[in-house]
């Protein structure tokens, strides 16, 4: 008698060349990640060779019921850590049957910015620090917290170890390995300041691939928390009071910034970000005003600031960058629920293309 786990882990290559491709896309809320699987005749490693597909947009808040068909365009392929073998995960974006990007397709506009000659020449690199909170399923309260109550104050939990400090490490480590298996350039993980909150980092990634990889890493994390029976939250301030919020700090550099004399380029770029502060804040995630209060390692949402090694600033420059006279900087304003396509392309557009 086969166990369910035996069937889930069946190696298809023993009996067929066919593979399963799980098509992944972003739903109407901008944060709901959807997916469905289809059978393909054999292995595929080029998204251009994958068939387009469709889905019912009226069920995702992306199309009316009387004209509900939305078309999926495959854009990036990752190995499937759940089915393994030659099976794949496919990051897609969404279009009308006439070939127009639907309003929630933020990848389309980002790809246009990243393909512009000015941006291509500067080779923008990104490192995204994605923070998130794990919640108890039945009560939507952080794991490890007493139901209806609070743990001890912040301090021992950041990068902590121990049953009274680190909650959910099995989920975090499973996600870390699954992302590496998938081909995502995940560069690290750590426990965050608020207990039950964690972070993973994606990067360095170039251009549009940063958005693809962060979205797929989010999808894989959703699947793992599903298996674990835990709720995943990207709320930028899941618990009110004297608790840290959740951000998606975005580290960034261009070829000019990484070259000799790059610190001057960085300072000019930061000045541009200051001039467009309100525009960026408006695009950096819903509910960010609850997080960017000037407390808990944040700058006030209404005031742009920058500094070297200052985690209370809007933009932080590292000591190593200052010492070397070149390198990267960190935009600390994006919320944990930001769209990485929007944030990465907007930073590139403001610092490379936009003229004050």
Mean pLDDT of the chain: 96
Classify strands 248-253 and 315-317 as parallel, antiparallel or unpaired.
Answer: unpaired
pLDDT at 76: 98
pLDDT at 309: 86
Q: What is the reported pTM?
A: 0.97
Instruction: Please list the residues that pair with 197 across neighbouring strands.
Output: 133
Instruction: Please list the residues that pair with 126 across neighbouring strands.
Output: 205, 252
Confidence of residue 2 (pLDDT cuts 50, 70, 90): confident
Domains of the chain from N-terminus onward: 4-103 (3.10.20.70), 117-353 (3.30.590.10)
**Contact call for residues 351 and 328 (beta carbons, < 8 A):** no
φ, ψ at 68 (rounded to 5°): -95, -5
**Contact call for residues 81 and 220 (beta carbons, < 8 A):** yes
Which letter, b or e, does each residue of 294-313 get, where b requires 16 or more Cβ atoms within 10 Å of its Cβ? eebebbebeebbbeeeeeeb
Q: How many other CB atoms are there within 10 angstroms of residue 353's CB atom?
A: 12
pLDDT digits (tens, 9 = 90+) for 276-300: 999 999 999 999 999 999 998 899 9
φ/ψ bin of 335: left (φ > 0), alpha (ψ from -120 to 50), beta (otherwise) = beta
**Separate counts of helices (H) and strands (E) for the chain:** 10, 14
Q: Is 95 helix (H, G, I), strand (E, B) or coil?
A: strand
**Contact call for residues 154 and 216 (beta carbons, < 8 A):** no
Q: How many other CB atoms are there within 10 angstroms of residue 208's CB atom?
A: 22
pLDDT digits (tens, 9 = 90+) for 153-185: 999 999 999 999 999 999 999 999 999 999 999
Measuring CA to CA, which residue among 238, 207, 270 is closest to residue 336? 238
State the Cα torsion 242-243-246-249 to the nearest 10°: 70
Which letter, b or e, does each residue of 216-254 get, where b requires 16 or more Cβ atoms within 10 Å of its Cβ? bbbbbbbbbbeebebbbbbbbbbbeeebbbbbbbbbbbb
pLDDT digits (tens, 9 = 90+) for 267-282: 999 999 999 999 999 9
φ, ψ at 115 (rounded to 5°): -95, -5
Residue the block writes with tokens 């304003």? 333
**Contact call for residues 347 and 283 (beta carbons, < 8 A):** no
Name the DSSP letter for residue 354: -
Whether residue 1 has pLDDT greater than 70:
no
pLDDT at 310: 86
Return the structure tokens found at 327.
Answer: 């390198």
């Amino acid at each position: 008698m086969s166990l369910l786990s035996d069937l889930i882990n069946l190696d298809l290559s023993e009996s067929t060349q066919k593979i399963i491709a799980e098509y992944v896309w972003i739903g109407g809320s901008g944060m709901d990640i959807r997916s469905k699987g289809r059978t393909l005749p054999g292995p595929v490693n080029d998204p251009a060779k994958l068939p387009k597909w469709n889905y019912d947009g009226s069920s995702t808040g992306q199309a009316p019921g009387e004209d509900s068909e939305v078309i999926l365009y495959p854009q990036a392929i990752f190995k499937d850590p759940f089915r393994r073998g030659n099976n794949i995960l496919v990051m897609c974006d969404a279009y009308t049957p006439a070939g127009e990007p639907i309003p929630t397709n933020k990848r389309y506009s980002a790809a246009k910015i990243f393909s512009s000659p000015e941006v291509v020449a500067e080779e923008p690199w990104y490192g995204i620090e994605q923070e998130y909170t794990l919640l108890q399923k039945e009560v939507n309260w952080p794991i490890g917290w007493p139901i209806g109550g609070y743990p001890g104050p912040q301090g021992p939990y950041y990068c902590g170890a121990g049953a009274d400090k680190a909650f959910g490490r099995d989920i975090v480590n499973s996600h870390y390995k699954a992302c590496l298996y998938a081909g995502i350039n995940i560069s690290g993980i750590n426990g965050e300041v608020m207990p039950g909150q964690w972070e993973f980092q994606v990067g360095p990634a170039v251009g549009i691939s940063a958005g693809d990889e962060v979205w797929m890493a989010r999808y894989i994390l959703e699947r793992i928390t599903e298996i674990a029976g835990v709720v995943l939250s990207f709320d930028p301030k899941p618990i009110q009071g004297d608790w840290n919020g959740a951000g998606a700090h975005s580290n960034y550099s261009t070829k000019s910034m990484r070259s000799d004399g790059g610190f001057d380029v960085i300072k000019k770029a930061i000045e541009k970000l200051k001039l467009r502060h309100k525009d960026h804040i408006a695009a950096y995630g819903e509910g960010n005003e609850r997080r960017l209060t000037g407390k808990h390692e944040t700058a006030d949402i209404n005031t742009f600031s920058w500094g070297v090694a200052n985690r209370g600033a809007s933009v932080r420059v590292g000591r190593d960058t200052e010492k070397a006279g070149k390198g990267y900087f960190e935009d600390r304003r994006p919320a944990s629920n930001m769209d990485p396509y929007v944030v990465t392309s907007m930073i590139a557009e403001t610092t490379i293309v936009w003229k004050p």
